[in-house]
Chain A
């Protein structure tokens, strides 16, 4: 580092060193698994609530649906698709590794395979999700 000031974290290590932790693919997969899991759970709670409103009759329920027909809701749903698809595929990799431990050494390859499935399915799904916007 050429800078004269170094920012220290609570354990006396430079914060920037922490940010430079190189966990590679496994670290990013872990981080994404967590954040997508939290995001999906948040949506699930909202979704249970809106379905619960069915009990108040068609007027109340249909009025609430503006949330889902807005254009920005479509974008959020693409995020949801991203989250569900990634969480599902990455979770499947974790399960396969857990039950066939010999595959741990191929973690990098497995994550690449995961990406190879994820990208085309996500693009196709996002296309379907966004299609109504162009009607």
Chain B
């Protein structure tokens, strides 16, 4: 990555990046941060101000996901938010877990949690099909 990025990293952390991965991780946090500023804040606004949390139930989500664009939106939100959040936690681990062995163990555990939740979320967003939910009004 460019010299500029390496310098910006150094100004923020007070030391040069120890690896290419660390530099790319730093850069990813900036890019995904800007993306999430749009995706997450709009999601929060839409669900509360436009739909209303007290209105949300199974049918509302099923209705919403009849539009594949909303599924795509939710998939992006899931991937960016979870990756940004878990990577942030990984950086915090570096600040507090000083023994190399422990740090590796904690980060491995974080990765398992990350993969599991990414899988759960992506699975339901992609495969969800409302099965024979009979609205009470139709009975």
Contact = CB atoms under 8 A, between A and B. Distances in A.
B11 A104 contact: yes
A95 interface: yes
Given A48-B121, A54-B124, A98-B11, A132 B37 contact: no
Interface in A36-57: 37-38, 40-41, 44-45, 48-49, 51-52, 54-55, 57
Contact of B37 (A41, A65, A92, A99): A92
Contacts, number: 98
A91 B58 contact: no
Interface string A78-104: 001100110010011011001101001
Please report whether the interface of chain A is mostly helix, strand, loop or mixed according to DSSP: helix
20 contacts: A41-B86, A44-B85, A45-B113, A45-B117, A48-B82, A49-B120, A51-B61, A51-B125, A54-B58, A57-B58, A58-B57, A58-B59, A61-B57, A68-B53, A77-B53, A95-B33, A101-B11, A104-B11, A128-B48, A128-B49
